[in-house]
Amino acid sequence: MLLLIIKVSSPNTIQVVIQEEHVIHIREIPQVYTLPDVIMIIILTTIVTSSGLFLFFIKSPKREISLDSSTRFLTENERRIYELIKNSGGIVLQSDIVKMSNLSKSTVSNILNRLEAMGLIERKRRGPLNIVILR
């Protein structure tokens, strides 16, 4: 690492001038990077690397959904289904929702699609059954 810092802080850049197949002159161009340049490169590299590691390893907290504000925009049937799931302990079979709500299978399925799109519920397929879970 120290060798790398020394090489970066004191590079040897040369300029070769060639005219009609003859070398006219060769000269060294000193101090391509000054010490403040090297320090700035090291600092910025450290910041970018730290930021990348932070974003890679730190998990973002799950977004909490305020149920009062989310359910405020539900239709009557959507609210009814949502409350039915909530009162069943937050997990219920889709077929049981159809039985308890006295709504058709397609109506319940459409309502559950909308609730799932809003992020209020999650459906998991287990064989021929759908399990509905509150988020």
Do 37 and 92 reside in the same domain of the chain? no
Q: The whole model's pTM is what?
A: 0.49
Per-residue pLDDT band at 18 (split at 50, 70, 90): confident
With 90 as the cut, is the pLDDT of residue 31 above it? Answer: no
- Considering the domain architecture, whether residues 48 and 75 belong to the same structural domain is answered as no
Instruction: Report the alpha-carbon distance of residue 88 to residue 35 in Å, rounded.
Output: 69
Q: Residue 111 above 90 pLDDT?
A: yes
Q: Is the pLDDT of residue 54 over 80?
A: yes
Confidence of residue 68 (pLDDT cuts 50, 70, 90): low
DSSP label of 34: -
Local confidence band at 20 (pLDDT 50, 70, 90 cut-offs): confident
Give the structural domain span for 53: 2-57
- Residue 120 — left, alpha, or beta (φ > 0 → left; ψ -120 to 50 → alpha)? alpha
- Same domain assignment for residues 76 and 43: no
Tell me the C-alpha distance between 41 and 39, whole Å: 5
